[in-house]
Amino acid sequence: MTITAAIAAELRDVTREYGLGNARVRALDGVSLAFPAGSWTAVMGPSGSGKSTLLHCAAGLDRVTGGRVFLAGREVTGAPDRVLTDLRRRTMGFVFQNFNLIGSLTAEQNVALPLRLARTRVARADVRAVLAAVGLGDRLRHRPRELSGGQQQRVAIARAMVTRPAVLFADEPTGALDSASARTVLALLREMVDRDGQSIAMVTHDPAAAAWADAVVFLSDGRLVDRLVRPSAREVAERLATLEAAPC
Ligand SMILES: Nc1ncnc2c1ncn2[C@@H]1O[C@H](COP(=O)(O)OP(=O)(O)OP(=O)(O)O)[C@@H](O)[C@H]1O
Ligand SMILES: [Mg+2]
């Protein structure tokens, strides 16, 4: 089957298992999901339902146990690390749940890192502009340990945005932010999609954040169980409540 550029990333019948024997956990269980290009998809579900695993598998950061993964129009299942790394650097940004900043580098150097790794000329003005956009224009020289959790999260977001990736994968990008900072970040993400046609796959626990997306998909116990198009925060919260109340 041909994959059109209309799809930024796609999982087909993906299974991901961890551990061996009795400790074996099926984190994803037959998930088929496409992240449309130029669109924002939020991924929700109870803790442990497989959200981070789904994002890592879709971004080619984690290997699947079964099924197939397509990224930027090409199949990446089983692709060599070198090919995956190159594709990631050229086409995607990733905001990790635990930020993954480099402790020895300043905020400005952390944000410039993906440009350096992609061997792109680092325009200091671009790096500063993206840090200013997330409200950190006055923290350029601070190292992660000198920043609050929410500030570190915003450096991680700036680092993922600076290359203007075709696809941005973001795992709880507003989890450490107060509601005003979260709104600033969510508005920036909305602009990436509406103005620049970039694609976003975002994990969140927050119905108000999910309501900024074009569609919201729900995971439960490693399976995709529902999808809502342009839902309100209230609709998202109600759907999530029924999932979290479901017996394991
Ligand atoms: N590296 C790993 N080794 C073993 N088990 C893992 C590993 N990563 C994830 N798991 C298991 O897979 C399941 C899904 O984990 P995942 O991190 O994807 O959940 P999540 O939905 O992101 O949860 P949270 O909302 O708490 O971040 C969990 O049961 C977890 O224990
Ligand atoms: Mg997670």
What integer pLDDT is reported at residue 196 of this predicted model? 93
Phi, psi (degrees; rounded to nearest 5) at 139: -130, 25
pLDDT of residue 248: 54
Compute the distance from residue 52 Cα to the ligand 1 centre, in Å.
Answer: 7
Where does the pLDDT of residue 73 fall: very low under 50, low under 70, confident under 90, or very high at 90 and above? confident
Q: Which atom of ligand 1 is nearest to the CA of 222?
A: 14
Alpha carbon nearest to ligand 1 atom 6, residue: 18
Ligand 2 center from residue 121 Cα (angstroms)? 33
User: Has residue 119 got a pLDDT over 90?
Assistant: no
The better pLDDT of the pair 138, 248 is held by 138
Give residue ranges with CB within 6 A of ligand 1.
18-19, 25, 27, 45, 47-53, 97
Tokens standing for 208? 């108000």
Q: Report domain extents, the chain.
A: 7-245
Q: Which residues pair with 14 in a beta bridge?
A: 31
State pLDDT tens for residues 18-40: 999 888 999 999 999 999 999 99
Q: What is the pLDDT of residue 72?
A: 83
For residue 82, what are the CA distances in angstroms to 78, 87, 89, 104, 175? 11, 9, 11, 26, 32
From 201, 98, 99, select the one nearest 159 (Cα to Cα).
99
Mean pLDDT of 47-63: 96
Closest ligand to Cα 51: 1
* Residue 145 pLDDT: 97
d(CA 242, CA 174): 23
Q: Which residue has the tokens 């397509």?
A: 70
Mean pLDDT of the chain: 93
Return the residue matching tokens 């992609």: 118
What pLDDT does 1 receive? 37
The whole-number pLDDT of residue 146 equals 97
Which residue has the CA at smallest separation from atom 7 of ligand 1?
18
**How far away, in angstroms, is 4 Cα from ligand 2 center?**
29
Range 7-245: architecture per CATH: 3-Layer(aba) Sandwich (3.40)
For residue 220, report the distance from its CA to the centre of ligand 2, in Å. 13
Confidence tier at 247 by pLDDT (50, 70, 90): low
Return the biggest CA–CA distance within the chain.
53
Nearest residue to 81 (alpha-carbon basis) of 97, 61, 104: 61
